């Protein structure tokens, strides 16, 4: 349907221009290439998510970190996957790295509640009560339902 709309609109706007068929076919090819890139990236994203979530479910925390760190940059910017990798670091007794990663995630995504709550819990668990209290001050930035859940957990 989109193809027909594009072909008709090119012919309407360009009329009897001698390059109208070439332009319409070029636009059609460009559209198909963009759709292909979108579908490939969507498929690749689901493959990467499947690998990380499966490794986390199977409690292979080192594999979660390897899969996440080896993924492309566009995948590593996903806050959910970044939070999962930080939790995997914490569960594999690399808590200092996990806290550092969660702090970076919170700085990049201040409205992401899972990272903030994980950061507060890890800081309390490590005995960094002052850092945890400073992190708690940021809970007011969260939306009210998330703020309520965070306060109930603490």
Whole-number pLDDT of residue 49: 86
Whole-number pLDDT of residue 68: 86
Whole-number pLDDT of residue 108: 83
Task: Give the integer Cα–Cα distance in Å for 90 and 18.
Answer: 65
- Residues near 95 by beta carbon (within 8 Å), at least 6 away in sequence: 89, 122, 125, 126
Using the 8-state DSSP alphabet, how is residue 12 labeled?
H
Whole-number pLDDT of residue 3: 57
Whole-number pLDDT of residue 27: 73
Q: What is the largest CA-CA distance in the chain?
A: 76
Using the 8-state DSSP alphabet, how is residue 15 labeled?
T
Weakly modelled stretches of the chain, pLDDT under 70: 1-24, 129-133, 135-154
Token code pair at residue 108: 């990049």
Per-residue model confidence as pLDDT tens digits over 109-133:
877 777 777 777 777 777 776 666 6
């Amino acid at each position: 349907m989109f193809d027909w709309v594009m072909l008709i609109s090119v012919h309407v706007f360009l009329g009897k221009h001698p390059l109208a068929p070439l332009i319409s076919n070029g636009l059609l090819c460009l559209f198909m290439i963009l759709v292909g890139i979108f579908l490939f990236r969507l498929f690749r994203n689901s493959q990467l998510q499947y690998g990380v979530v499966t490794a986390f479910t199977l409690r292979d925390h080192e594999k979660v970190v390897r899969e996440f760190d080896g993924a492309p940059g566009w995948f590593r910017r996903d806050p959910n996957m970044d939070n999962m990798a930080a939790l995997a670091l914490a569960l594999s007794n690399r808590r200092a790295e996990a806290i550092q990663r969660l702090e970076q995630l919170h700085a990049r995504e201040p409205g992401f509640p899972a990272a903030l709550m994980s950061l507060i819990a890890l800081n309390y668990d490590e005995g960094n009560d002052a850092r945890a209290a400073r992190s708690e001050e940021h809970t007011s930035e969260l939306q009210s339902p998330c703020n309520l859940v965070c306060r109930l957990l603490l």
